[in-house]
Amino acid sequence: MLKGKNIIVGICGGIAAYKTCDLVSKLSQAGAEVNVIMTKNACEFVTPLTFQTLSGRPVYTDMFKLLGKEEWQVEHVELAKKCDLLVIAPATANVIGKLAGGLADDPLTTTALCVKVPVLICPAMNTAMWGNKIVKDNVNKLKKFGFQFIGPGTGKLACGDTGAGRLEDIEKILAEITEKLGRK
């Protein structure tokens, strides 16, 4: 069902970034062409090399890294034109806030604001952050604009707290992706 589908996986800087390795691996094994975009903070948790190995494709981390190369294109625009779905997992409060405010200052946010396909946001953050009124307002604003959310899950978080804020189970995210792309 995912064979030949072009999926962008955006990864933000949170401890749950390591779980996205499994998602990228499973999407690639299912035949999807997976393009990974990492925020600078995400690179502090998992290296781009890990995702390049799992996806078999270059990983985008910098807006200007490809400048001066012969085959250079406006990468975020080209990626946006080709994709069938954009998944942001984990999505931090920071990136959710940037998107809600229309800010585009890195490869992930510029691409997310360029795509004309569904954007699936998978939040992961501390329970107190997830419950913060500003974050809730940003989530509601994005939902009004058509962004779709899955999660967060509930349970014990890396900080030791228990509650809502965990990255949703990878199998549930994968099932949602498969369902969305199966309808296309």
* DSSP bridge pairs for 153: 166
Is residue 12 within 8 Å of 78, Cβ to Cβ?
A: no
For residue 41, being part of any structural domain is answered with yes
> What is the mean predicted confidence (pLDDT) over 144-170?
94
Q: How many C-alpha atoms does 91 have within 13 Å on its Cβ side?
A: 32
Q: Is residue 159, in this structure, part of any structural domain at all? A: yes
The reply to whether 43 belongs to the active site is no
8, containing H or E segment = strand 6-11
Q: Does 168 fall in a domain?
A: yes
pLDDT score for 76: 63
Domain enclosing residue 78, as ranges: 6-182
Beta carbons of 167 and 122 less than 8 angstroms apart: yes
Residue 1 domain flag: no
- Reduce the DSSP state of residue 46 to 3 states and report it: coil
Average pLDDT, whole number, for the chain? 91
The total domain count for the chain is: 1
pLDDT at 67 exceeding the cut of 50: no
5: how many CB neighbours lie within 10 A of its CB?
Answer: 21
Residue in 12, 21, 43, 159 annotated catalytic: 159
- At 106, the pLDDT band (50, 70, 90 cuts) reads very high
CATH number at residue 110: 3.40.50.1950
Q: Which pLDDT tens digit goes with each residue over 9-43?
A: 999 999 999 999 999 999 999 999 999 999 999 99
- Is 16 part of a structural domain of the chain? yes
Q: Phi, psi (5° rounding) for residue 160?
A: 100, -15
What does the pLDDT average to over 77-103? 93
How far from chain centre, in Å, is Cα 131?
Answer: 21
**CA atoms of 46 and 51, how far apart (whole Å):** 8
Could you read off the pLDDT of 110-124 as tens digits, one per residue? Answer: 999 999 999 999 999
DSSP output for 65-104: TTTT-TT---HHHHHHHH-SEEEEEEE-HHHHHHHHTT--
At residue 3 the predicted structure's pLDDT band, cuts being 50, 70 and 90, is very high
